[in-house]
Structure 1
Amino acid sequence: MAAVTLRIVPCSNRQEMDKIVEAVKARLAAGERVELETCLHTPKLRSPVYQTARNYGGIIKVVLQLGEIDRKLKIPTYAEDVDQIEVSGNTVVDEDAAEFFRRHEKNLINDPVKVFRDLQQSGHLLRYIPEYKGAIGLDQHSPYHTYSVFDHIMEATAYVAGTNLKMVWSVLLHDIGKGYPGIKQFLGVVVEPYASYSKKDRVVIENGERIREGLDSGESYRVNGEAIPKQYIRTDLVGHFYDHENVGAQLALRILPRIGYTTEFAHEVAALVQLHMTMPRDMDTIAPNVLKKWYAKVGRYASDLMMIRMADDKGK
C-alpha cells in the first residue's frame, strides 16, 4: 500500500509547494513509500500533500519534530486528513511534578482552581510549570477581558470543573501562549508618511504597554526603536495576542509529557488549544452554513471546542 510520512521540522526557508507535490506524486506513481522532511507549517500548506497521497490510495502519517517555539506553526491535528500523528522530542520527566499530578488527579478534575491556587500559593506552580510565569498578572488591556491572563484561565477553568481530565487541562492551557515573550502586541496603522514609513503601513507599538500603564506620556510611539509622533499613527492601544493558540499548543506538547502525561494525551489537549480560536464568535446570529463549515473543519473536536468556548466566555 502507498504510504506518505510527512515529518515537520523547524526551518526558516520557504519551500515551493508545487515541487514538493510533484516529487511526492512521482515517487507514489513509482510504487515507492514516501518519507518527506519539510517545514509545512499550516494545514493549508500540508493539504496538497495529503490530497496527492489519497489520490494514490496512500495512508498518511505526520511526525511533528519539536524544536524552538514557532508562533506561525499550527500543529497537525486529526481535523486534517491524516491517519496517524506522532510527536517527536526529547522529554525529561519531572518526577516530583508527575507524582503530584498523579496523586491529585481526582482533585484536579473536580476542583482544578483550588489545586492550582494552592500550587501558586506554595510556590510549586512555577516550579512545575514555569511557562505560566508570563501569564500571571499579565493585563490583557482589552475591553473584552476583565481579568489578567492567568486569572482569566482560572475563571474559565472553574466552568469545566467536574468534567474530565482532558477538558480541564485544555482550559488550563488554552491561553498560556498569551504569556509567551513577544505574543502580546499593540498595533497601529500609519496614517501619513513619516521617515521610511508609508501610509497604511501596519506597525507594532513597542511602548504601548508603558503608555497603558501610565509610565509613558504617549506623545510618541516607538516603532522598531524609533520614536514617531503620535499624530502619524492610528491606534486604539488594545492588547492583541495573535498566534497565541499556536504557541499554546506547542507549549502543551512540552508541558504535559514533562509532568507525567502520555504524548498521546498531550496531543489531544494540544489539538484543542490549537483549534480553540476557530469557532465563530456570534453563535446566536451565525448563519447555519457558516456553522456547518466550521463543524466540517474541526471534525471530531467540535463538541469539546464548544465547551471550551463557553468556558472561555464565562471567564472574561
Structure 2
Amino acid sequence: MSRNIIEVNDLTKKYDELVAVDSISFDVKEGEIFSLVGPNGAGKTTTVEILECLRKPTSGNARVLGHDVKNEDEKIKKKIGVMPQDFNTFERLTAEENIKLMGDLYGSDNVKEIMRKVGVDKFKNKKFDDLSGGMKTKVGIGMTLISNADLLFLDEPTTGLDPHARRETWNLIKDLKKMGKTVFLTTHYMEEVEYLSDRAGILINGKIEVIDSIENLIEEHGGGIKVKVLEDGEAVDIINDRADEVLRGEDTWTGIFDNKKEARQALIKLFQLDAKVEVEEAGMDEVFLRLTGGKIDEGGELV
C-alpha cells in the first residue's frame, strides 16, 4: 500500500469572521493524482497555499513529506514543485531561458531533458510573451519539474486554455504520474477530474463534501445512465416520468437513471416516438450536482 505523502487533520483557516477552510481532513497517497475540486471561493487555493507553506493555518495540522507545515516549512519548500495559477516568468526571455533560469536557481543541469519531456523543445527559442496559453502551461510545468521534486502542486493548470491545449496538458499531467511524481491538482473542470484523477475531494464553502476514488464517486453518487432529448412534449414527459433526476438545458432535457432497466424502458418509448436521443454514462458532473445541488460554469462559478 502506498504511503501518505500528505496528511491533513482538522485544518482550519480564518480571516477575521470569514472561514476559508473549515476543519478539513484528508490524505494524498504517494504516486497518485489527487484532485481538490470546487468552485471559485471554495477554499482550494487557500488549502494548497497552506500545504505549500505560504500561509499558516488557524488551527489543525498538516504534514507534507513527513514534515509539519507549521514549523518545518523550509524543509517542505525544498522538496516540492509548485505551479500557481498565475506563475511568474520573464516574458521577454525565451521558453528555454525561463526554464534554464529556474534550473540555475536549483543548481540543475537537466534543462534539455525537462524541455524534451514537457514538449518545450519544439518552441524553445520563442519568447514567453509570444507563446500560446498551452505553450505557456508547458513552460510552467517545466519550471516546476526542474527541482526534481517528487510532489507537484498544480493550481488550475488548464484555466483559460482552448480544448486542444487543455487535452495536451492533461496528457502531460498523465506523463508526470508515469515519471513517478505525485500530483496535487486543483481544478473546477469535472471532465478534467474524471480524466486525470485517481481520487478526488469535493470542496464547498471550505468544507469537504466527499473524498473517494473517481470510480467509487461515480458509482455511488453519479447515477447510472444519462438520456438527453431535444425539447419536445411527449419525449420530455417520458423523461420527467421515469428519470430519477432531470436536468434542464438550453434546449434539451437530460434524465439521470440509477436503474438501467428503467433507462431501457424509457429509451424504448423514446425510440417509438422517433425522438432524437443521446445516451451516455453518468460522470463527475452528475456527482457534483447530486452532492451540491449545483454545477460549476466555465468561469469556475457555482450556478
TM-score by length of 1: 0.28
- Higher-strand-fraction structure: 2
- Higher-helix-fraction structure: 1
TM-score by length of 2: 0.29
